[in-house]
Amino acid sequence: MWCSNLTPLATVNRVLLLLVITMAECNTCGPGLITPGVTIPKGDIMIESGEPLEIFCVLNKSIDIAANRSARDLIFLRDSKVVPSEFLEIINETTVRLYVKQPPPSESMYYCKLQTPADELKPGQSRNTAVCLNKVFVGTKPQEVKNFTCISQNWQNLTCSWEKPENFVKTKYKLRYRFPGRAGGRMQYGCPSNTDETSNYCFWNDSTDPHYRLPYAYYYYNLTGENQFGNASFSHKFHHYGHVIPAPPTDLSISGTTHNSVLLNWSIPYAMHTFPPGLIQRVVYQAEYDTNDIWLPANTSNLKTHGENHSLNITGLKYAYMLYEVRISMKSSVATGEDKWSTPTNITFMTSAIVPGAPPKTDIGSFEVSGGLLRDVYIYWRYIPNEMKNGDKFEYKIISVEENGQKRYCSQL
């Protein structure tokens, strides 16, 4: 949007002298172009936000199409929209001035064009003839970046990334870091030498120069922004060990199962064996009959944060002869947030079989007898839930029938 009206010129003579000198040096819009005038200044214009934009458009009456025209026939367009007349001032017969007190941060094309009266147009002739143009950048000094984050993958590499704030002038950011203590403060390190200066990240591992420094709990980062309007520095204290994401657990196996328990064994990745803060473990499990989004947590309070191998006996499993899935993940013991857990490692197992979990339900009137000397007995019952069958080849059997107080087994019927 437009910000203000024109302000008067300090002295018209000073401007006219500037125009004469400039026109004498270059009377065309660009090399090889023949246009009916020029704009001053030439080429791209860089403005710091809050400063005014000023462009002069000057007719060259030695060009036929401009011979009978004047500054009153000149217009400006910003991109595709005509600049309102309140931002224009006629300086003399051949010169018009565009002045915007505070143009908004933007990247725009400004076109000066010569208008031919409608009654003078020839067949096929465009009413507007290009005089010259300028690309205008309105930007700011370097601003602090957004979402500065650093993540170490399995304590083997480190990536720092950030989002550049919108700025319409080219701005470079450089990242450097140091370590705590006197010795650490004297030495500063930057991104690896092969990092593209236009990138929004830096990556270190054991083969980069400088290489990834593992044994420091904290890094002190300094991010410097540079552009033509100045420099700015922003500091970040980075908790290194709190941002290490381990690789998934390895060698996950089942040592044994019962109808309601399972014994698990697994190892932590080799690179994390000497990780100073140690790791915490998360173990969750789900039965085949459970809802997909319900994962029950196992009690891992007895697991140590240090150690290369872990074992856990999960007891109290609800279903016998049931397929279960277990997922195990880990994270740094000083990390916060759900996004710091490793990718889980999973395994499935079957609990062992036991007797069914309940008898079939019957009630008064759940059987009937029909016939004379040879009678048929019809018995009705309710099936038990599938998750209580507790074994393979489950079936229902009638063992005996009691008649007049005497129990008669099916083989005798």
Residue 27 burial (C-beta neighbours within 10 Å; 0-12, 13-18, 19+): middle
Superfamily of domain 12-139: Immunoglobulins (2.60.40.10)
* Residue 355 pLDDT grade (very low, low, confident, very high; cuts 50, 70, 90): confident
> Does the structure show a pLDDT above 60 at 14?
no
Bridge-partner residues for 98, per DSSP?
55, 88
Which segment of 18-22, 175-179, 278-282, 342-346 scores lowest on mean pLDDT?
A: 18-22
Backbone angles phi, psi at 316, to 5 degrees: 75, 25
Question: At 285, which helix (H) or strand (E)?
Answer: strand 279-287
* Model confidence pLDDT, tens digit, residues 98-143: 999 999 999 999 999 998 877 666 776 677 899 999 999 999 999 9
CA angle, corner 271, sides to 266 and 275, nearest 5? 90
Structure tokens at 316: 């109290």
How many Å apart are CA 29 and CA 34, to the nearest integer?
7
What percentage of residues in the chain have a pLDDT greater than 90? 64
Between residues 360 and 6, the one the model is more confident about: 360
Residue limits of CATH 2.60.40.10 in the chain: 12-139, 146-243, 249-350
CA dihedral 324, 329, 334, 338 (to 10 degrees): -80
How many Å apart are CA 85 and CA 63, to the nearest integer?
25
Q: What is the per-residue pLDDT for 366?
A: 62
The CATH T-level fold of domain 146-243 is Immunoglobulin-like (2.60.40)
**Residues 29-47 as b or e (16 or more Cβ within 10 Å = b):** beeeeebbbbbbeeeebbb
* Model confidence pLDDT, tens digit, residues 245-296: 999 999 999 999 999 999 999 999 999 999 999 999 999 999 988 877 889 9
Q: What is the per-residue pLDDT for 25?
A: 43
Q: What is the per-residue pLDDT for 78?
A: 96
> Does the structure show a pLDDT above 70 at 11?
no
Q: What is the per-residue pLDDT for 365?
A: 60
Q: Which CATH class is domain 249-350?
A: mainly beta
Total length of the chain:
413
Average pLDDT over the chain, rounded to an integer: 86
> Does the structure show a pLDDT above 90 at 56?
yes
* Model confidence pLDDT, tens digit, residues 235-258: 999 999 999 999 999 999 999 999
* Model confidence pLDDT, tens digit, residues 131-162: 999 999 999 999 999 999 999 999 999 999 99
CA angle, corner 59, sides to 117 and 131, nearest 5? 75
* Model confidence pLDDT, tens digit, residues 364-389: 666 666 666 666 777 777 777 777 77
DSSP string covering 290-323: S-TT--EEP--TTS-SS-SEEEEEE---S-SS-E
Q: What is the per-residue pLDDT for 194?
A: 77
Q: What is the per-residue pLDDT for 298?
A: 97
